[in-house]
Structure 1
Amino acid sequence: MPKVSKKGQEMPASPIRKLVPFAEKAYQQNKTVYHLNIGQPDIKSPQIAMDAVAHHSLSVLAYTRSEGSQPYREKIAAYYQSKDIPAEANDIIVTTGGSEALLFAMGSIADIGDEIIIPEPFYANYNGFATASGVSIVPVISKIEENFALPPISEFEKLITDKTRAILICNPGNPTGYLYTPEEINQLAALVKKHDLFLIADEVYREFTYEGLKHYSILEAEGMENYGIIVDSVSKRYSMCGARIGCLVSKNKEVIDTALKFAQARLSPPTFAQIASEAALQTPQSYFDEVISEYEDRRNTLIKLLEAIPGLKVGHPKGAFYCIAELPIENSDHFAQWLLEDFDLDGETVMVAPAAGFYSTEGVGTNQIRIAYVLQKESLIKAVNILKVALEQYPG
């Protein structure tokens, strides 16, 4: 019998999606499941984006340019400039989600066996992208006791070898919600310039910052023209996860020219989704003001309730819409499955994302979960109460 590839065998399952069969079984048992496991916002997508697709004038659904349509890229550039991020249309390649932008970035800067240093916990699919690209992740552990702040630069520097090609961060962070300070970004910028590396920043949650704090992009740091690569997406910004439109941004012409060859190989990003995404750029600031206020209120409610659970420790997110909670248990994978298979409170239960899959260091994060506060506040309150009771009854 033919065998699948070693690479295929090594591809990690999503810690977010692998519990879906158990959730489906819970539905069949007529349980209500509160989904704290996945970053699918319940916020309505901008109507202007939906209308642009509904009222299109296309007679042929044709390819666009491999790098994305020129009008869309020009408008993306204007958006970045409004955020003090120096970018022109020619610095941008439109991709099929931020996921493809990450794959293009890895494929453009690293060969098989090369290394990328990443602070962990990190977005779980970085493991999958690295495996698909033949790249090794070298982790630097950030700690819940320090609210997942950037580890000391010395910890990064001692891991740099002749195989190191880049440092990758997510800012604000998924799964931690940590927002890097300008000082931390500038420290990383100085490090990559010193060692002639790239700094890749996944900035898809740029708009979601709280307590009056502002996001600081890697391309705002001085002298990053040849070193910085931004990965971005419309998915969370406009609650348009299904559009699957993102982009890769760099002032480094060689990086863009190389990434364009990957883009040409997959022909073009989806046309209707670009139409929606281009229209979404006209979304008024009032939309974001309301959304951010809503998320900040949910965050405050969630953290307060979690902190009241005996033995539970939780990070304090400053951005995005996730937090990491450390539970008084040994195995969050088992606990998450038990919640769906064997537990309910008056016919209701919760689905969480075990956090071990957000680390690449073996054995770390096994008693942690990621919570996405993308539910209405009333549902969050119910979900945390269910979690509290579950921890009291959990046999493990």
Structure 2
Amino acid sequence: MPKISEKGRLMPESPIRKLVPYAEQAHKDGKDVFYLNIGQPDIKTPTIAMDAVKVHSLDILAYTRSEGSENYRIKIADYYSENDINVSHDNIIVTTGGSEALLFAFGSIMDDDDEIIIPEPFYANYNGFSRASGVNIVPVISKIDDNFALPPIEEFEKLITDKTKAILICNPGNPTGYLYSKEEIQKLADLVIKHDLFLIADEVYREFVYDGIQHYSILQEPRLDDYAIVIDSVSKRYSMCGARIGYLVSKNKTVIATALKFAQARLSPPTLAQIASEAALATPKSYFEEVNTEYVQRRDALIKALEKIEGVKVAKPNGAFYCIAELPIKNSDDFAKWLLESFDYNNQTVMVAPAAGFYSTPGVGLNQIRIAYVLKEESLLRAVKILEEALKVYQD
């Protein structure tokens, strides 16, 4: 029998999606499952975006430009300008989701066996993107006791080798919800300039920041024009995960020209999804104000409830809609399966994301889970109650 590739064999499973068969079986067994495992907002997509697809006047669903339609990119640049980020439409390539933007970035700046430093825990698919690109992740661990703040710059610097090509952050963070401060961004700027590295920032949760704190983009740091690459997406901002539209943004003309070649190889981003995403840019700011108010209420209720459970430690997020909780267990992978296969509380159970998959360091995060607070407050509190009861009877 022909063999699959070593790259394919080593491609990691998604810690978010690998438990889906267990959840489906739990549902077939008659259990109600509260899904805390995936960042699929229950917030309605702006009507203006949905209507744009319904009323389009296209006769042919044709290719668009490989970098995305010019009119859409001009409007994206206007969006950034409204957020005090000065870029031109020529600095933007529209991609099939933020995932493709990151793959284009990796392909444009790194070769096989090059290294990228990432604070962990990090978005689990960074492991997959790196494996697919032949790139090695070099992790620097952030800690729950520090609320997952940026590790000391000295920890980054001692990991830099002649193979290091970039540092990658997610801001605000998935899975931690941590929001990097302007001072932390400037420390990273000093470091990448000193060592001639790229700084990649996944900023897809930019609109979701709380407690009066302002988001500071790496594109706002003037010293980083040649070093900064931003990954962005409509998925979470407008609750349009299924549109699969993202962007790669950089003022470095060589980066954009190189990424464009990858974009040309896959022809173009989806046409109807660009129509919806362009329309979504007209969403009023009141939409985000209402959504942020909702997420703050959910966050506060969730954190308060989790902190009441004996043996549970939780970091308080300042952005996005995730948190990491440390549980009094040995292996959250086993615990997550047990919740779906063997436990119910009044015929209800929960699906969580084991946090070890958000690390690349073996053996780290085994007793942690990621919770996405994308359910209504009442459902979140019910889910936490189920977790509390489960921990009373679970045995490692």
Q: Which residue of 2 aligns with 1:257?
A: 257
Q: What amino acid maps onto 1:240 in structure 2?
A: M
Q: What amino acid maps onto 1:53 in structure 2?
A: V
Q: Which residue of 2 aligns with 1:25?
A: 25
Q: Distance in 1 between matches of 2:316 and 2:160?
A: 30
Q: Distance in 2 between matches of 1:25 and 1:202?
A: 34
Partner SS state of residue 323, structure 2:
strand
What are the within-5 Å matches in structure 2 for residues 47-58 of structure 1? 47-58=47-58
What are the within-5 Å matches in structure 2 for residues 1-396 of structure 1? 1-396=1-396
Q: Distance in 2 between matches of 1:222 and 1:264?
A: 30
Query: How much has 1:222 moved relative to structure 2?
Result: 2.6
Q: Distance in 2 between matches of 1:7 and 1:271?
A: 32
Partner SS state of residue 71, structure 2:
helix
**Deviation digits for residues 143-191 of structure 1 (CA, Å, limit 9, x no counterpart):** 0000000000000000000000000000000000000000000000110
Q: Distance in 1 between matches of 2:257 and 2:221?
A: 23
Q: Distance in 2 between matches of 1:41 and 1:237?
A: 10
Q: Distance in 1 between matches of 2:307 and 2:32?
A: 24
Partner SS state of residue 223, structure 2:
coil
Q: Distance in 2 between matches of 1:282 and 1:222?
A: 28
How many pairs are equivalent?
396
Query: How much has 1:221 moved relative to structure 2?
Result: 1.2
Q: Distance in 1 between matches of 2:114 and 2:361?
A: 18
Partner SS state of residue 94, structure 2:
strand
Q: Distance in 1 between matches of 2:102 and 2:392?
A: 41
**Deviation digits for residues 78-124 of structure 1 (CA, Å, limit 9, x no counterpart):** 00111111210000000000000000000000000000000000000
Query: How much has 1:294 moved relative to structure 2?
Result: 0.1
State the TM-score, normalizing by the size of structure 1. Answer: 1.00
Q: What amino acid maps onto 2:368 in structure 1?
A: Q
Query: How much has 1:223 moved relative to structure 2?
Result: 1.1
Q: Distance in 1 between matches of 2:249 and 2:269?
A: 15
Partner SS state of residue 139, structure 2:
strand
Q: Distance in 2 between matches of 1:112 and 1:324?
A: 32
Query: How much has 1:198 moved relative to structure 2?
Result: 0.2
Q: Distance in 1 between matches of 2:201 and 2:119?
A: 12
Q: Distance in 2 between matches of 1:79 and 1:388?
A: 43
State the TM-score, normalizing by the size of structure 2. Answer: 1.00
- Aligned CA RMSD, in angstroms, stands at 0.4
Query: How much has 1:217 moved relative to structure 2?
Result: 0.1
Partner SS state of residue 224, structure 2:
coil
The runs of at least 4 aligned residues of structure 1 exceeding 4 Å deviation read none
Partner SS state of residue 223, structure 1:
helix
